[in-house]
Amino acid sequence: MLKAITALLNSVVDTVVPRSAEDRRADLYRSLIRREAKIGGELFGPTPPGVHREFFCLDENTIVFHEETTKNGKVAIKTIRYDVRPSGVLKTTNGQHYQSVSNEEASRLLKGLEVYKQRVHGELYPFVSA
């Protein structure tokens, strides 16, 4: 298991085209987010055919839910971005206006994030102490 994870992570590095050290680090960081997003998308159960789902922490203040549904050749995209600010939690859907998040929704989001954290840590970063 750990050997497989290590090989996977090292393969991420191999896919990053070496440019400047800073660019390489940024590419690596984005690659890790993409892998986390895939794990996060699995938290909500199996996706029906034609549905691609991602859920991930973008940075210290932002959580993203992204879903693409392909039906009859058309792709519908829904992106929900949660901004966790000191004053409260706001969300925007598909880049529209921000709205505040109810305490119930924030509570469920927190539970989702806790499971995401647990899975990402266990499946991608087991070599880092909690």
Partner 1 sequence: MNTAQLYMESREKRPEMGGVPVGPEIQRSAYQRINAIETVTKNLRVHVVQIPVEATPLPATNPLQAQQDMDVSKGAAQWQAGFVNDHRQSYTLDELLARAENN
Q: Interface with partner 1 by CB under 8 A: which residues?
A: 2-3, 6-7, 9-10, 12-13, 24-25, 28-29, 32-33, 36, 42-46, 48, 50-51, 57, 59-63, 65, 67, 69, 71, 76, 78, 80, 84, 86, 88-89, 103, 105-121, 124-125, 127-129
Q: Which residue in this structure is represented by tokens 């792709």? A: 75
Name the residue with tokens 């050749």. 73
Quote the least distance from Cβ 71 to partner 1, whole Å: 7
CB burial readout 8-47, b (16+ within 10 A) else e: ebeebeeebeeeeeeeeeebeeebbbebbbebbbeeeeee
* Least Cβ distance, residue 125 to partner 1 (angstroms): 4
Q: Which is nearer to partner 1, 2 or 17 (CB)?
A: 2
Nearest distance from residue 45's CB to partner 1, in Å?
3
Task: For the CB of residue 108, give the shortest distance to partner 1 in the complex, in Å.
Answer: 3
Angle made by CA atoms 8, 22, 39, in degrees to the nearest 5: 30
The two three-digit tokens of residue 62, written as one number: 């932002």
Q: Which residues contact 15 (CB under 8 A, 6 or more apart)?
A: 31
